[in-house]
Amino acid sequence: MDGIIPLYKPRGMTSFDCVAKMRGILHQKKIGHSGTLDPNVDGVLPICVGKVTKVVNYLMTSGKVYMGSITFGFSTTTEDLDGEVVKKKFLKEPLTDDQIDQAMAELTGEIIQIPPIYSAIKVNGKKLYEYARQGIDVKRPERKITVQTFKRQGKSIFNSTDGTQTVNFEVQCSKGTYVRTLAVDVGKYLGIPAVMSKLTRVKSGGFKLSETVTFAQLELAVKHENVATLMYPLDYALKMYPHFSLNEDLNRRVQNGAILQRSNFKQPKNAAPVLVLTFENQVQALYQYDEQRVAYRPLTMLLLN
């Protein structure tokens, strides 16, 4: 059983929980997910099954789209509603939509982000959240991310009773982006504590929320022995790369990991950085262009035939 299942991850489960449950449903050990989602976030979680786990990283490179909400007026230890409140500021009057739009615009493009202390990023072999739970202050590594779009959705809601304001948003961003940190940074730009109060991943790995499969649907498919109808082929994860069909001679050389000249692929002046090599309509390998050798060398060997 090899393929990709665009799972709908419900709130309350970790990504690892989802993988564990999938293993139980499919009776398959070789399962991996593309891009971790926090327990309080729901949405698209592409799952690679069987030999397709070899291309899980390629699914992650396609970027992600989220819809959620930011609440201004308080901040927490975890940057979402799961943490303890650490700062409050009673809003006497609402922020204008223009102010919020400007703050979001400042956080688009290529930016430097410092991940939250409650995250799984490792520093000196230890996850940041482990330091946080022990009360140890540690320098968090900066990371470069890309935010293609970050926009307000509809009018914000001002609560004069508790002095908070909530705004819905949509963000399209690169892998490795912490959206809850984006929410907090909007508040920092405005000089107001903020928190991510809701988040759903609506697109990931080329899959939309409307294309996802629930655990209930998957269990029913297993019962009726038609899981294949819910799966996408390995090539779905590689559709952004140019494909080249091998003849028998080249296929034998590829299976031996041979380096191949550009002339084998009739490459134009600017060689494609990565090629997907197929034989009899089945993906065999990914080859990467080596500028020093002026040739293509193996990047990922798949050999699924």
**Catalytic machinery residues:** 38
* Sheet strands (E) in 77-191: 85-88, 109-113, 122-123, 126-127, 143-159, 164-173
Can you give the C-alpha Rg of the chain in angstroms? 23
Rounded CA separation 173/251 (Å):
37
Is the Cβ–Cβ distance between 43 and 209 less than 8 Å? yes
Q: Is 50 helix (H, G, I), strand (E, B) or coil?
A: helix
Residue 251, Cβ density class (10 Å: 0-12 exposed, 13-18 middle, ≥19 buried): buried
The DSSP H or E segment spanning 294 is none
Say how many C-beta atoms besides its own lie within 10 A of residue 245's C-beta: 12
- Secondary structure in 3-state letters for 159-206: ECCCCEEEEEEEEEECCCCCHHHHHHHHHHHHCCCEEEEEEEEEEECC
Place of tokens 């940057």: 79
